Amino acid sequence: MTAPKKLFIKTYGCQMNVYDSERMAEAMGGRGYVETDRPDDADMILLNTCHIREKAAEKVYSELGRYKGLKAEKPDLKIGVAGCVAQAEGEEIMRRQPLVDLVVGPQSYHRLPELEAKARAGEKALDTDFPEEDKFDHLKARPKAKRAPAAFLTVQEGCDKFCAFCVVPYTRGAEVSRPAARVLAEARDLVERGVREVTLLGQNVNAYHGHEGGLAGLIRELAKVDGLDRIRYTTSHPNDMDDALIAAHGDVAELMPYLHLPVQSGSDRILKRMNRSHTAESYLRLIERIRAARPDIVMSGDFIVGFPEETDADFEATMALVEAVRYGYAYSFKYSARPGTPAAERPMVDAAVADDRLQRLQALITRHQREIQQEMVGREVSVLVEREGRVPGQMLGKSEYLHAVHIEASTAAIGDIARAKVVDSKSNSLGARHL
């Protein structure tokens, strides 16, 4: 019996890349591959890349450099680059790193098995097309193996917003939504394998139009799936937060009281320069409407500081918006230019000034996060148990508000949704007692 070939995948970036890596592994299963967590044990190494963070491409080249010795020891080892860096720099990757055998963009990874076959035949394989066919139609059906109780499920890809700082429209393409029937079928399959919570993914997920009722309509259909007890979605754009979706937060019990809704800046001048197409005031009024529908909702956001031409007054407007919203979670970054985007050609803010602003913003966000966690002490929460803790009887999971929770002296099993009373707030988690 021939031993299976081994596939090592390193995933960078967002939840969509995590989902894509799972599907790539499944696609390569048809070529006789099984996954390994050791690159030195692999017959194929695949880097699934992200182009959002600073110096993303350089990090990929640095990682590839680590495999030169391994490639010399194992000439039959195949090395591939997938994802958004692959899409943006496919030919350059091939030219700059001859050890790379194949490059595949995020919309073409259903073709990975045939690209691997070309590489095995000694050819260099490159596919960064935006194919007309739906990649999800061509991927293997998911195997029926048991799954962790929480899973990602991509429902929408691409973005038409063209924010001035963002490469997603260029690397992921135009907005496209998966038909609701296919999403529902995949959700039922996940539930059959032990999943109780799905997070619906999209670069601009609330622009989903694969159901006549939009994302709200899809959520209401998913809520009818027996055994699917929790639904989340990310990432959203304020301009696509419609009345139906706001209402769903109020009356769909399965939709968890947590929402990631990036704003990026509190300055109208900077928002306009970012091409965000909303104002700070319209965003704050939107938050009010969402909280009116679901008063206990925990908000999350994204912020960029040091955007080209940002003044002290612009930054203080961001600080004021953060004070007004009080985010339970937020992600803040110092602006870094992405070649080919409009903002990349504009005058940069002094690096030391941007660093100082980032530290001040992160300190404020951290204070709010800890205050909101402290306010949870004494409250009862529902915890989806995901794994065992480090001490006997301790179980770890996520509350409905996405807080990490350690339940002590718990009799719950992995996959249970346990009621627990919060007794302690730690820096990034809650301690609780099983009820």
Q: What end-to-end distance do the CA atoms of the chain give, in Å?
A: 51
Last residue of a domain, one of 94, 127, 160: 127
Whether residue 278 has pLDDT greater than 80: yes
Residues 329, 407: one domain? no
Residues 272, 414: one domain? no
Is 216 domain-assigned? yes
Domain count, the chain: 3
Is 366 domain-assigned? yes
Query: Residue ranges for the binding site?
Result: 14, 50, 84, 159, 163, 166
Residues 338, 268: one domain? yes
Last residue of a domain, one of 356, 375, 394: 375
Residues 325, 264: one domain? yes
108, 128 in Cβ contact below 8 A?
yes
Is 306 domain-assigned? yes
Is 135 domain-assigned? no
Please give the Cα distance from 153 to 207 (Å, whole number): 16
Is 132 domain-assigned? no
Q: What pLDDT, on a 0 to 100 scale, did the predictor assign at position 141? A: 58
Q: Which domain holds residue 70?
A: 5-127
Please give the Cα distance from 241 to 291 (Å, whole number): 13
Query: Residue ranges for the binding site for [4Fe-4S] cluster?
Result: 14, 50, 84, 159, 163, 166
Residues 387, 249: one domain? no
Q: What pLDDT, on a 0 to 100 scale, did the predictor assign at position 19? A: 84
Nearest Cα neighbor of 416 from 382, 393, 392, 389 is 382
Q: 113: pLDDT confidence band, cut at 50, 70 and 90?
A: confident
Q: 186: pLDDT confidence band, cut at 50, 70 and 90?
A: very high
Is 411 domain-assigned? yes
Spatial neighbors of 390 by CB under 8 A, at least 6 apart, are none
Residues 12, 70: one domain? yes
Residues 359, 406: one domain? no
Residues 304, 402: one domain? no
Model confidence over 59-70: pLDDT tens digits?
888 888 889 889
Residues 55, 185: one domain? no
424, 373 in Cβ contact below 8 A?
no
Q: What pLDDT, on a 0 to 100 scale, did the predictor assign at position 90? A: 78
247, 239 in Cβ contact below 8 A?
no
Model confidence over 208-253: pLDDT tens digits?
999 999 999 999 999 999 999 999 999 999 999 999 999 999 999 9
DSSP string, 303-339: EEES-TT--HHHHHHHHHHHHHH--SEEEEEE----T
Q: Which residue has the higher pLDDT, 295 or 92?
A: 295
Report the half-sphere exposure of 268 (CA within 13 A, side-chain side): 6
234, 260 in Cβ contact below 8 A?
yes
Please give the Cα distance from 56 to 89 (Å, whole number): 11
Residues 293, 350: one domain? yes
The phi and psi torsions of 333 (rounded to 5 degrees) equal: -140, 150
CATH number for 385: 2.40.50.140
Is 134 domain-assigned? no
The CA-based diameter of the chain, rounded to the nearest angstrom, is 69
Report the half-sphere exposure of 413 (CA within 13 A, side-chain side): 2
Is 53 domain-assigned? yes
β-strands 258-260, 298-305 pairing: parallel
Residues 11, 153: one domain? no
Residues 371, 401: one domain? no
Model confidence over 123-138: pLDDT tens digits?
888 887 765 555 566 5
Last residue of a domain, one of 336, 351, 375: 375
Q: What pLDDT, on a 0 to 100 scale, did the predictor assign at position 1? A: 53
Mean pLDDT of the chain: 90
Please give the Cα distance from 104 to 88 (Å, whole number): 10
Question: Beta partners for 45?
Answer: 8, 79
CATH number for 367: 3.80.30.20
